[in-house]
C-alpha cells in the first residue's frame, strides 16, 4: 500500500491549498474539499481586458449605483467613438449601453469568440435574476482593437 493510500484511508491527508483534511464518508468514499475559486489575467490579453472591464464596471454599479468611477472606467477601457455611440444609444433606449439593460447583473462571463482584421471579438454573457429569482441571460458581442486593446463596439449577440 502506498503512503498516499494509507493517508487517504486514515483520513490524515491534508491538502496544501486549502488546509482541509480528506475524510472518509460513511459510505467509505473520500470527500474532497470544494475547489478554491481563482481569477487570473494579463494586461496584454484583449479578452482579459474585456473581462476586467465588465467585472470592474459591474462592481461599481453594484456598490455605488453609478457615478464618476463608472465614467472613468468607460474612459479607460472604451474608445472615444464607442463612448459617443453609447451616449446616443442610451439616450434612445434609456438603458445602460454597456450592459444593454437597466439594473445590475448578478454575474458575468467573457470568452474569446474570434479574431481577424485587427480586431478581437469576445462573447460576454450577463446573468440576471428577476424578482421571482428566475435567471435570465443577456449575450453580448464585444469588439476590441488588437493594437490598443480598447473596446470599440458592444452589440447584442443574437
Over residues 26-44, the pLDDT tens digits come to: 555 667 888 888 888 898 9
Q: Determine the average pLDDT of the residues in 143-148.
A: 97
Q: What is the DSSP letter of 50?
A: H
CATH of 46-156 given 3.10.450.50, 3.40.50.300, 3.40.50.2300, 3.80.10.10: 3.10.450.50
- Reported as a single tens digit per residue, the pLDDT across 54-84 is 999 999 999 998 789 999 999 999 999 999 9
**Percent of the chain whose predicted confidence (pLDDT) is above 70:** 81
| Number of other CB atoms surrounding residue 140 within 10 Å | 21
Top pLDDT among 59 and 11 is at: 59
Place of cell 468514499: 29
pLDDT of 93 above 80: yes
pTM given for the model: 0.76
- Which comes out higher in pLDDT, residue 31 or 118? 118
Decide if 144 contacts 49 (C-beta within 8 A).
yes
| 67-73 contact pairs (CB < 8 A, 24+) | none
Only one residue has cell 421571482, namely: 132
Q: Parse the chain into domains and list their residue ranges.
A: 46-156
Checking if the pLDDT of 136 tops 60, the result is yes
Q: How confident is the model at residue 128 (pLDDT cuts 50, 70, 90)?
A: very high
- In angstroms, the CA 13 to CA 10 distance is 8
DSSP strands (E only) in 48-134 = 107-116, 119-129
Contact 122/46 with Cβ under 8 angstroms? yes
Amino acid at each position: 500500500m502506498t503512503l498516499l493510500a494509507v493517508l487517504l484511508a486514515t483520513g490524515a491527508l491534508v491538502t496544501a491549498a486549502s488546509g482541509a483534511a480528506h475524510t472518509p464518508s460513511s459510505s467509505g468514499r473520500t470527500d474532497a474539499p470544494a475547489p478554491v475559486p481563482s481569477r487570473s489575467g494579463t494586461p496584454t490579453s484583449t479578452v482579459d481586458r474585456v473581462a476586467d472591464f465588465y467585472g470592474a464596471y459591474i462592481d461599481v454599479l453594484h456598490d455605488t449605483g453609478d457615478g464618476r468611477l463608472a465614467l472613468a472606467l468607460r474612459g479607460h477601457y472604451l474608445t472615444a467613438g464607442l463612448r459617443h455611440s453609447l451616449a446616443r444609444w442610451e439616450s434612445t433606449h434609456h438603458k445602460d449601453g454597456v450592459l444593454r439593460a437597466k439594473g445590475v447583473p448578478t454575474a458575468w462571463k467573457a470568452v474569446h469568440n474570434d479574431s481577424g482584421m485587427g480586431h478581437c471579438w469576445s462573447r460576454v454573457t450577463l446573468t440576471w435574476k428577476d424578482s421571482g429569482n428566475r435567471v435570465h441571460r443577456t449575450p453580448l458581442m464585444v469588439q476590441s482593437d488588437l493594437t490598443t486593446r480598447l473596446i470599440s463596439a458592444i452589440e447584442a449577440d443574437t
